[in-house]
Structure formats: structure tokens, C-alpha cells
Amino acid sequence: MLRSFFILIFFTTGLNAQDRAPNHLLGTQSPYLQQHLYNPVDWHPWGNEALERARLENKMIFVSIGYSSCHWCHVMREESFENPAIAVFLNEHFISIKIDRERRPDLDEQFMLATQVLTGSGGWPNNLILTPLGDPFFAGTYFSPPELTSLLQQIADIWRDEPQVINAEGFKLAMYLQNYLTRTAAAVELTPALMGNINMRLLNQLDDFNGGMGTAPKFPRESLFLFLMDQAQRSGDRDLLQAATNALNGMIRGGIHDHVGGGFHRYAVDPEWHVPHFEKMLYNQAMIGLMLARSIQVTGNPSHTRALDRLIAFSMREMRDEGGAFYGAMDADSYDETGEKREGAFYVWTPEEIAKTGVDSAYINDLFQVTEDGELDGANVLNWADDITEFARIDPMLETLRLTRSERIPPAIDTKILMGWNGMMIAMLAEASHATGRADYWQAGADAARFMLSEMEGEDGYNRVVFEGRAGVPAQLGDLGAFALGLVALHDYAPDGENPTMWLDEALTLSQAIRTGFGDVQDGYRMSTERDGFSTVIALDDGEIPAGNALALLTFSRLARRSENPELLRDGELLAAALSGHAAEQPEQRAASLAAIRELHDGEVGQVRFVSGGAVRVQMTPDRIAGELRIDLAIKSGWHINAHVPLEDYFIATNLAVNGAILPAAAYPDPVTKSLGFNDDALALYEGALTLRAPMPTSGKAILVLQACSDEICLAPEELTFTLW
């Protein structure tokens, strides 16, 4: 009854919210904060003004953290933060602060850990009570209005009677959390035995029936599965590859996949991937798209190619700014035909609605398990019953459904442009271009990168966010790392006629900003350049994108292989040592760090690789239809590699071996014979571009050995291994 009373108050007062004076959120550059601008709660943005006021007035701080597309954040806003009685109490006894977690992931990381320690779980909205000095004392996620009213009253009473108790407990918890967030770990060598144990540990946690990991709620866990794909490529272990492809297959079949419009929702509320939480996040499109692109290169799965093409089409159509960058999210909630705002209203179908579109409704209903009593108030989330191959028949009908659906009121779009999420999207688009042969995907990534370079760099460095034409919030570690990797991918997969060097130069500039702005590499880098909140944070755990330190390490490793900068390799080794113990301890949360360390020490695993400080680009192409394996080498001007039969015994010959059998001499091109500065005798060598071809085996490994030399020096020989599936 009390809950109904609070909801009634909202509907009788909240509808005229725009008639109120705005609170202290006026002028903030955040759709989420603007959603709370006219709440009767006197919200402040996080900053010195609100924190100083709490100290001066000796008031506790009520902090509420969320993001614009969060369903339960909307519910709590409508039920509680539009409630006059709750607002009066908060305004009298607390300083209230709203934080957009997508703008300030460093604060979100600190306060989410506090909630997890205090309650054993976490989520958004995340609501905490801090002491006037900013130390966390109480935390929880969603509260109903009666629950919130009761706990606020209880804590206010304790503060009135025993403030020293709250201050002492808050200080003690803050010190514990600070020690955890800044801890170091001894370096660990990632031996084959240790990696085998980690891989088995992860495989034992998988859902072999539905794909993925976990039960409910079920998240894509992209960083973890990308690590397993990396490990599969290194070892040839089919179980590891199958784990990743099973996860993709389960998501593609399930309702987490938007079968009508393309792309993927954030997570599923059930183990079968059937019913999603309907928000669509840019980072999921980027990370799942990267999984799909890598699967296509390994398996050639047409279902994965289709899912990737549709994901990119959705992102380009619905989430792209006119300047070329990509928006952050689409809301979970939207208005139905009655004017009621409901989660998933835009996406669900009844049999009657499908029949009205004119498609073969009996076929669609059977294919996507559409019934009269669907999962959500009688409406259905579309799911594939079985694997489908009739795409030529299905896709035109799905396009009809999409056009029909476009007449509904769409979910709101969070138009924030975030550097880190766009960086991952750029990397995905560049790699997807290579995997699919679509040059327009690379161009879309390049357009986004140009926007970021022009709009996100200011006088004081790089910014994290662009919103409504204004850039703000200093870029954090994950932003610079993700964007740098996106630029490296644009360099690696640049189409003919494009100049890839500019992208590498910009990535090197970003790497320098990382190396100088985020603390001591030997401890692991901080998330942010300056401490804010109750602690600095060493960025270890993978979240919506890989951990900031993992991205930094990948950046150093890839740039070191593409440039002549020994400092990058040195700092990469120091960072790997700082991360290795943490990563081996909790591989489920730090899989990206494990993958980055393996790449630094053992090289890359993709079809396109750079060696010899960028002097040689190697691309492996398996042509399964022609039954041919092709290795294309592009050698930078001023460099060469030794011929298959060098004229001097002490030079390392170029060799390609497939499953242990070295290609016969006739398979290699004729070399160039010339003298160089360091040797007056004639040498046999390859310059420019060359191609090696071999019969394509059913499976196994191809190993390329080469040694690069300039007119002055010869580098150490290198060995590249390609796993063939």
C-alpha cells in the first residue's frame, strides 16, 4: 500500500516536473544527469562544491550512480527521486550527489567495490551514504520508496546520536578499500603448465549447453572469450575455440540478439540467452563484433558473418553521429501503443502484429517461437529454435518487420560520445573490414577516428566525452588505450591507397600520454591522472571493455612491433610483471591482461602481423575453396629479408613450413642479388613484396621463419606460427 502511495505521488506531481526550478545539475554534460535535473531532490554533480558543502554543514552525502539507459535507474527516479517526501528528507539531512558512471568510471569503480564489500553484490543504480569527509558507510542498489525512506531515517538518527560511529566505520572501510584498489602483486611467469591450468579452470565454468558462462543474469563476457580465442590460436586447442564459438552461437540464436534490427542487447536475464535486458550499448557492439570478426577469420562461419554485418548496419544506422563517431547507448525502455513506458516495448511482438506486416507469419512464428502467451505480458522476444541457414528467405521478411517496427516510438539514445568505447568500435570496424572484405567498414572506423582526433584533444590533453558539441572530463587510462588500439588497427588493415603511417603516429602520441600521465608503470597504471574519491584505482578488472592496464600493455606491445621505440618494450615488460600476479590470481576478471602478457612475450596470433620493428608486414590468407594457403609479405623500403637460399651460410634463410614440411625451393620467388653496406659480397635477398603459396592442409600449423636486414644491420631471426583450422 505504501509503495502505491509513493507511486501515486509521482504521477500527481512528477508530470509537471519541468515547471520546477532546476537543481544543481543545471549545465552538466550528461543525459543521465539531465534526466534528474528537475527532480525535487537537490542533486549536485560530483565535485569540490558539493563535497566542501558537506564538510562545512557536517552533513552526510547521499551518492546515487547510474547511467541513462539503465531501466532500474529510471524506476528509482520515478518512484523515489520524484517523490516530494523523500526529496524533503534528503534535502534536509544529506548533500545529494548524482554520478554518471559512464562519464566517471574511476568513481564508479571505487563505489561499486564499496557496495560489493558491504552487500556481497552490486549493480545500478548504486546508492551509497558517505561521511562528510567522503568515506563510504552504507550502500545498496535499487530500493523501493518505503525501503529508502526507512533506511534514510535510520541512518539520520544514528548520525544525530552517534556521528563518531559512522565516521569511524567509514574511515575504516575507506582504508580497507584503498589498500585493495592500490595493492601490488608479485610477478608470475605464465608457464605452459600455469596457462593450461587457467584454461581448464575457465572451461570448467562454461555453460556447454547454451554457450557462454554463468546462469542468470548472463553477460557476454567478451574479454574472457577473446582470451580463449587467443589461447586457441596459440595452442591449436579445439575446446578453447569451441567455447568461444558456442558462446557466439548461443547469443546469435537468443533474444539477446536483435533478430529484426541487428546488434545485441547488454545481457540476458536467463541462462538460455532468451529474454534480454533490452538496453543496447556501444561497447557490446564493439566487443561482440570483435569476437565475430575473429571467428570468421578462423572458421569462416556464414552465420557469424551475417550477424557481424547486421550488427555493423545497426550501429551505423542507429548509433552514429553525423560527425562519424558513435553514440553510447540505446535505452531499455520505450513507450508502447497505450503510451505506457515499458522495458522492451519497442522490440517484442505478438502473433497479431506479425500477421499485419504481410510476411509469412506461420513460418516466422514457428521459426522464432512466437506464441499467444509470450514471455513479456503476452508479447514475444524473438528467438531461433534451431540453427538456421535459410537466410535468403528469412532476411527479406525480417527487413519488413524492421520497417514496421520503425513506426513505433523508439527507445531514447544516449548521445554521449565516449573515447574508450569508440576506440574499441574503431578497432572492431578495421578488423571486420579485413574479415569480410568490406572496405566501407574500415572507412567508417577512420571517420570515427578523425572525429575523435579533432574533437577530443584540448589544450590540457585528451578528453573522455563529447556531448552536445562540447568535450569534457579528462581521458582515463582505458580511453587512451582503447583509442590507441583502434588507431593501430586502422594502420594494420588500411586499404590500398590509404596512408597508414598517420594512424601509427597518433597511436604513438597516445602511448606517450599513457606512459607519462598515469603513475608508475612498475605498480600498474592508475585509471585516472589524478586521485578523486576516497582512493586511486589501479585498473585491473575487465568491465564493459578490457581493463585499462590490459589495453595499455597491448598498445605498448603492438607499437613496439611496428616502430623502433625500445622504451615501449621496456615499459611493456615492467607492466606485464606488475599485472601477471593479479591476472593469474583471478583470470575470470582479468583475462585481457593474460592475453596481453602472452602477446607481449609470444607475439600476435592474427592473420596480419608486423615484425622487425615494423619493417615487415605478414598476412596469412587461408583460401579454403581453392585449397591454397597464401603468405603475403610487404617489406619496408630500405629493408630486405634473406632469400630461401642465402649466398652466405651465416644468414637465416626465409622458410615456410606447413605441418613440418618446408616448401620446396621452386615455391619461392627468384631473389635479388646485390651487395650492401655491411657486406661487399653479393647477397641473395627479397625486397618489396612477395607471396608464398602452399597447399591448404585440413588442419595444423604453418611456420614462417625470416630475418630482416637493412643496409647496415641484421635483426634477430623471427618465427611466426599460424594455426590452421
Q: Report residue 386's pLDDT band, with 50, 70 and 90 as the boundaries.
A: confident
> Which of 5-19, 237-251, 330-344 has the highest average model confidence (pLDDT)?
237-251
pLDDT tens, position by position, 200-254: 999 999 999 999 999 999 999 999 999 999 999 999 999 999 999 999 999 999 9
* pLDDT given for residue 389 in this prediction: 79
State how beta strands 43-45 and 94-100 pair: parallel
Q: Report residue 2's pLDDT band, with 50, 70 and 90 as the boundaries.
A: very low
Q: Report residue 3's pLDDT band, with 50, 70 and 90 as the boundaries.
A: very low
Closest CA to 543 of 448, 487, 476, 455: 476
* pLDDT given for residue 568 in this prediction: 96
Positive or negative: CA dihedral 81, 86, 90, 91: positive
Q: Which amino acid is at 243?
A: A
Note the residue count of the chain.
725
Cell of 462: 585528451
* pLDDT given for residue 126 in this prediction: 97
For domain 608-724, give its CATH number from 2.60.40.1250, 2.40.10.120, 3.40.50.720, 3.40.50.150.
2.60.40.1250
Domain ranges in the chain are 2-181, 192-330+418-600, 333-414, 608-724
Look over the chain and give the mean of its residue pLDDT values, rounded to a whole number: 94
As a whole-number percent, the residues of the chain with pLDDT over 90 amount to 90
* pLDDT given for residue 263 in this prediction: 98
As a whole-number percent, the residues of the chain with pLDDT over 70 amount to 97
* pLDDT given for residue 348 in this prediction: 97
Closest CA to 605 of 191, 294, 239: 294
Mean pLDDT throughout 128-155?
97
Segment among 222-231, 333-342, 528-537, 589-598 with least mean pLDDT: 333-342
What count of Cα atoms within 13 Å lies in the side-chain half-sphere of residue 416?
32
Q: Report residue 544's pLDDT band, with 50, 70 and 90 as the boundaries.
A: very high
Segment among 48-57, 114-123, 577-586, 711-720 with least mean pLDDT: 711-720
> Which of 5-14, 380-389, 676-685 has the highest average model confidence (pLDDT)?
380-389
CA distances from 193 to 202, 236, 274, 404, 581 (A): 14, 16, 37, 55, 15
pTM beyond cutoff 0.85: yes
The yes-or-no verdict on residue 679 having pLDDT over 90 is: no
Distance CA 232, CA 229 (A): 5
The yes-or-no verdict on residue 6 having pLDDT over 80 is: no
pLDDT tens, position by position, 242-260: 999 999 999 999 999 999 9
Segment among 15-29, 243-257, 424-438, 684-698 with least mean pLDDT: 15-29
For domain 192-330+418-600, give its CATH number from 2.60.40.10, 1.50.10.10, 3.40.50.300, 1.10.10.10.
1.50.10.10
Q: Report residue 682's pLDDT band, with 50, 70 and 90 as the boundaries.
A: confident
Report the alpha-carbon angle 220-289-457, nearest 5: 105
Q: Domain 2-181: which topology?
A: Glutaredoxin (3.40.30)
Give the strand order in the sheet containing 94-100: 43-45, 94-100, 60-66, 126-130, 136-140
Determine the straight-line distance between the first and last CA of the chain, rounded to whole angstroms. Answer: 62
Cell of 440: 566501407
Q: Report residue 18's pLDDT band, with 50, 70 and 90 as the boundaries.
A: low
The SS3 call for residue 326 is strand
Q: Report residue 456's pLDDT band, with 50, 70 and 90 as the boundaries.
A: very high
* pLDDT given for residue 678 in this prediction: 63
* pLDDT given for residue 15 in this prediction: 43
pLDDT tens, position by position, 286-296: 999 999 999 99
Mean pLDDT throughout 72-82?
96
The yes-or-no verdict on residue 452 having pLDDT over 50 is: yes
* pLDDT given for residue 16 in this prediction: 54
In angstroms, how far apart are the furthest CA atoms of the chain?
Answer: 95
Cell of 647: 649466398
pLDDT tens, position by position, 80-113: 999 999 999 999 999 999 999 999 999 999 999 9
Higher pLDDT, 2 or 506: 506
Distance CA 590, CA 547 (A): 7
Mean pLDDT throughout 514-531?
96
* pLDDT given for residue 562 in this prediction: 95
Q: Report residue 196's pLDDT band, with 50, 70 and 90 as the boundaries.
A: very high
Segment among 124-128, 199-203, 455-459, 604-608 with least mean pLDDT: 455-459
Segment among 19-23, 46-50, 134-138, 249-253 with least mean pLDDT: 19-23
Q: Report residue 11's pLDDT band, with 50, 70 and 90 as the boundaries.
A: very low
Cell of 222: 567478451
The yes-or-no verdict on residue 14 having pLDDT over 80 is: no
Whether residue 419 contacts residue 456, with contact meaning beta carbons closer than 8 Å, is answered with: yes
